[in-house]
Amino acid sequence: MDSRESKEADSIRRRRECERCNRRFTTYERIDEIPYMVVKKDGRRERFDRQKVLSGLLRACEKRPVPSSKLEAIVDAAEAFLTDAPERERTTAEVGELIMKQLKGLDTVAYIRFASVYRDFKDVREFKEELEGLLGSRATGKGKK
């Protein structure tokens, strides 16, 4: 018969009528939102924060010729990857690897910047190994830029 939001806007109030006995009654409906979670390296669970991922990508791509639409597409892909998970959660390792794979195809400098923060290189040797792997794949024709 009638539907409207509650005063707090956290539920929908519906006025209904039984088709058999014609009695009227009110129901309240709430959206049952279960957040998408990422499991951190130390085991903590945290809500997936789209803006946090985008800001990390923006920092990695600072002063690089990477269009913001491409960064949005990477974040969209990460979010879709998370929503496809049956448990509504993924590890940060899985999400990070997906992001780095896509970033590597866009801009290798941005990829190295992102990887250095994401993989938390402990010393120059680890950084050098990542660069050598990147240069090796580039020499075989797999890398871009």
- State yes or no: pLDDT of 9 exceeds 70: no
pLDDT at 73: 93
- State yes or no: pLDDT of 143 exceeds 50: no
**Residue 111: which of 80, 76, 79, 142 has the closest Cα?**
142
- State yes or no: pLDDT of 140 exceeds 80: no
Q: pLDDT by residue (tens digit) across 15-60?
A: 888 889 989 888 888 776 778 899 998 999 999 999 999 999 999 9
pLDDT at 144: 47
Q: Which distant-in-sequence residues (6+ apart) come within 8 Å of 143 by Cβ?
A: 104, 108, 134, 137
Are 19 and 9 in contact, with CB atoms under 8 Å apart?
Answer: no
Residue type present at position 51: Q
Q: Which distant-in-sequence residues (6+ apart) come within 8 Å of 16 by Cβ?
A: 1, 24, 25, 26, 27
- State yes or no: pLDDT of 6 exceeds 70: no
In whole angstroms, how far apart are CA 104 and each of 4, 37, 127, 140?
Answer: 49, 25, 15, 15
Q: pLDDT by residue (tens digit) across 74-93?
A: 999 999 999 888 888 899 98
What is d(CA 83, CA 116) in angstroms, rounded to the nearest whole number? 27
Of 144 and 120, the structure prediction assigns the larger pLDDT to 120
When pLDDT is averaged across residues 92-112 and rounded to a whole number, the result is 90
Q: pLDDT by residue (tens digit) across 120-136?
A: 777 777 778 877 877 77
What is d(CA 59, CA 51) in angstroms, rounded to the nearest whole number? 12
